[in-house]
Amino acid sequence: MSAARRMNGALLSIEGLRVGFRNASGGVIEAVRGVDFAVAAGEAVGVVGESGSGKSLTMLAVMRLLGAPARTTGGRVMFDGQDLLDVDEARMRAIRGRDIAMVFQDPQSSLNPALTIGRQITDVVRAHRRVSAGEARRIAGESLERVGVREAGKRLDAYPHEFSGGMRQRALIAMAIACRPRLLIADEPTTALDVTVQAQIVDLIAELRRDLGIAVLFISHNLQLVAEIVDRVVVMYGGKVVEDGPVEAIELSPRHPYTGLLQACVPSLTAPVGPLVAIEGAPPRLGRMPQGCPFSPRCPRVVARCELEMPALLTEGERRFACWRPL
């Protein structure tokens, strides 16, 4: 599929998105600085980058869930031919959970400890569908079973504390898929889990995508982890997309030096543990973005131009990268 065709057939298209914070002196500090990428129906896209690159703010802006002081300062988020940044709050509430669902990093804080798992799933179902209490419970049981919870019917009456961390994440995913959304946004859904459970959750998301045709946006620090289940990878750094393309291309021949280092950085879950190469230095601080390429202070291939001028995100076939001296 060509890049142009994919954009035309996009389910979600993020265009020039900007998110900023107002600082003490009334200025705006931008943390997301013109992000563009699209997700086609049924496609799985991974968004990777180190801490602070703007991944979560981008997703929260898409869902219109940014909390003060963060706010969207520019761009469009096209979904189903409408700009989500433009629709009224009632319409957005209807879209959230029904058309686009989100699973967060920490299952503990995303579940209400005072309500049963079943109640929390049925609440989502009944917020979006006119069904009886009995039918909502049936759908909730089916969703919980779908995510691999055994004896799901009985477990509906359990409270979150009676579930393990992995089970709680499954319950959240059950809640997210209960209304069969077209897009599931999973923001570091495995970070709080141990390695074995991480792998199970990744497999589960891949399976839901395959069986239910749900498009997935999977956010992670770990390129190797996302590469196992996505079609395409978007690499973010300093609030910008620095590279994206089909997963094989990104893995086999990264063009941006940052992607190259990310790739060497974290051992895979399945491959034998290789040397752990951390990227030297730290990501730029907010409000202290370099004038040129945000990665230039840490880049092994840096030349004078990189420090002065931000390279544009250029398209080459199926991929895009923003670098003056690509690999």
Q: CB of residue 305 vs ligand ATP: minimum separation in angstroms?
A: 26
3-state secondary structure of 220: strand
Q: Which is nearer to Mg ion, 105 or 263 (CB)?
A: 105
Q: CB of residue 85 vs ligand ATP: minimum separation in angstroms?
A: 17
Q: How far apart are CA 271 and CA 200, in angstroms?
A: 16
296 binds, among ligand ATP, Mg ion, none (CB under 5 to 8 A by kind): none
- As to burial, measured by CB atoms within 10 angstroms (0-12 exposed, 13-18 middle, 19+ buried), residue 37 is buried
The token duo for 57 is 């703010």
Backbone angles phi, psi at 108, to 5 degrees: -60, -50
3-state secondary structure of 278: coil
Q: CB of residue 2 vs Mg ion: minimum separation in angstroms?
A: 31
Q: CB of residue 214 vs ligand ATP: minimum separation in angstroms?
A: 22
49 binds, among Mg ion, ligand ATP, none (CB under 5 to 8 A by kind): ligand ATP
Q: Which is nearer to ligand ATP, 62 or 156 (CB)?
A: 62
21 binds, among Mg ion, ligand ATP, none (CB under 5 to 8 A by kind): ligand ATP
Q: Which is nearer to ligand ATP, 55 or 209 (CB)?
A: 55
Contacting residues toward ligand ATP, per CB under 6 A: 21, 31, 49, 51-57, 69-70, 221, 286
The set of residues, in sequence order, having a beta carbon less than 8 Å from that of 145 and lying 6+ positions away, is 152, 153
Query: 125-146 burial, b if ≥16 CB within 10 A, otherwise e?
Result: bbebeeeeeeebbebbbebbeb
Q: Which is nearer to ligand ATP, 56 or 169 (CB)?
A: 56
Contacting residues toward Mg ion, per CB under 5 A: 56
72 binds, among ligand ATP, Mg ion, none (CB under 5 to 8 A by kind): none
Q: How far apart are CA 103 and CA 170, in angstroms?
A: 10
